[in-house]
A and B are shown apart, each in its own frame.
Chain A
Amino acid sequence: MNLLDYLLAHPREVLTLTLEHIWLAGISVGIAILVGLPLGVAIARRPALARAVLGVVNSIHVVPSLALFGFLFAVPWIGERAPRMAILALSLYALLPILRNVCAGILGVDHAVVDAGRGLGLTDGQLLRRVELPLALGVIVAGIRVAVVLAIGIATIAAAIGAGGLGELIFRGLAMVNNSLIFAGALPAALLALVADLSLGWMEGRLRERV
């Protein structure tokens, strides 16, 4: 039996699940960016808070993903729909690399540049928007890149709680001991991760060489 059999026989199903997968990972990383960017900026200025926040967010990664999906059943509103649980869990995972890199990116900006900007009379907001964030952007994109690859990978497990995505084919294939089915889920998921990694890597390189 050829590994590509299922993929070629059911292109529409694979495409639908791929789009679902992209949607799950995309929304989750989007939420992680919306939370991680301002939070990362806030903790970059407060080292004590940074240690506490990064510690908490870090500890989320200690929870096995399957267990985290399970725990979320108990959360009101979130637990009612599988995609909600999946998106919350994926956002939590994606938060760490983004938060860490926003913080590290801002702290990594040359002190002389920040000192000069402040001494010349830029406000905190002007310094952030015009100097610190642009100069930290390469590092921040590197964090988003890790988050995207992580989310695409872990999103396959979301199928275990019925949230959809390419994991469905993989879990079905595992249950039926059907390699062609597993492959029909795994190949597009791997390609997604690869394409995301390469394109964000290219962007990161472009942003870093300006500095």
Chain B
Amino acid sequence: MPGMVERFGRAAAPGLAQGPVHRIADRTMLVRRAGSPDEERTALETAIATASEDIAALMAAADEDGAAMLEFQLALLEDDALRAPALTAITAGTDAASAWRDALNAQIDDYRASDDAYFAARASDLQDLSDRVLGHLAGGGAEAAPAPGSILLGRDLTPSRFLALDWSKGGAIALSEGSSSSHVAMLARSRGVPMVVGLSDIPDAAFSEAIVDGESGRLVLDPLPEQRAALAALQSDAALRLGAEAAVLREPAHIASGERVAVLINVAEPEELAALDPAICDGIGLVRTEFLFSSPAGLPDEETQYRAYRTILEWAGDKPVTIRTVDAGGDKPVAGLTIDGESNPFLGMRGVRLSLERPAIFRLQLRALARAAEHGNLKIMLPMVTVPSEIDRAAALLGAAIEELEAAGIPCRRPPLGIMVEVPAVAVVPELFGAAAFFSIGSNDLTQYTTAAARDIAAVAELGDAGHPAVIALIRNVVEGAAKLGIDVSLCGDMGGDPQLLPALMSAGLRAVSVAPPLVGRVKLALARISGEGA
């Protein structure tokens, strides 16, 4: 036993958890020693055979659509034509892993280059096959699934791996790198999974138990008996606070003056809503639609999107639901949609820029949204708007989609079209964006762009402070601009869920926030203590 180790990092998602330690394997660190061409050929054939068995096992557990996609992957993997270039390279002296990676990359590039979105999206199937075989080649094969309730310990965690894990039995995440503004941290907050990032010097020793305190950013490995007792006390404090939050959860939110504040929720996946009572919120302030675009089955068709949007609208009843068009790019790559190898993806083709560049894909989303609008109080929101003409171009595409649907006799409705305010170019001169039906301040990106501190770079995370007076001044400017234009304004970034930052937002005149569902009670309690003066 290495003894107790305590480390402090940065809080990324609140909550307390204790459980068995599970180390996340770091694929970039895996190395294997190459052998003779014969040994390499055998190693590759064995890895391909094992990967085929994996896929066959996954097929047995998959639904019909999933099984069809896996059958396709399996057929590719079993086709000699797929491995032939790799075997040729091995004969010429290349090691098995490089030979396989190069052969698959050539195919992946070929698919990506396709103008047809459906063919381009197949690049993700080949990437999956490439990774799966490389994983087996590197030894250890596919990583064992963590026991339910485990504390995941590692360098970083990808959103797709987070989504593949079962969090229903608790658990937590402790990372040596990572960022509290990453996509995976957002997912952790919305699922109520405690998470700490930026923990330095985690020893490599084998630890069996860990405590993660997502409030204070603390990780304790192999805790002492008194620390376990302290955890129990903290948990009972947390239980008291949860009781106080539960008491106000279904009440309308007010600041101390009695003035009403709208508290809405952010939703990343429709499945989250099943466990939520619509009475806790004033609506949905942000639906992230990226979940639809990250399926291994490729880009979603119109019907899949329509059904997902309709489910969300029906959950909300008469309450407003703001659905954001796909915000791919930045730290959210989507195979077949986003552009690889940009030198600075956060300043590149992302959000509405990408949607306008790929009108065929955008058109399907707009058609699905216009059809879903028949079933509730829908608003459409464009991410990453920088100039007013982007709103005009998106509005024209929405108009064209509605004309097509009407001509075909398909029921649909034109929802209001608003924008995210997350680029400083908009926040400085909001009055130029009167074509928007509403503003929603995306404080995460607004902070990163205002402070020039990337949210996925741990070393500059301290600079990316949403409480910076410049960020607050921009928010005040956007609230005032919206009032002059006579349109609604809300905020859907992480700031809205932070009790430390809510007083500044209320002083800036903001009266609507959209937060992760587990934070609704905490936000309502915090608002009740805020005077809101200075607006």
Q: Do A and B bind each other?
A: no
Interface residues of B (CB under 8 A from A): none
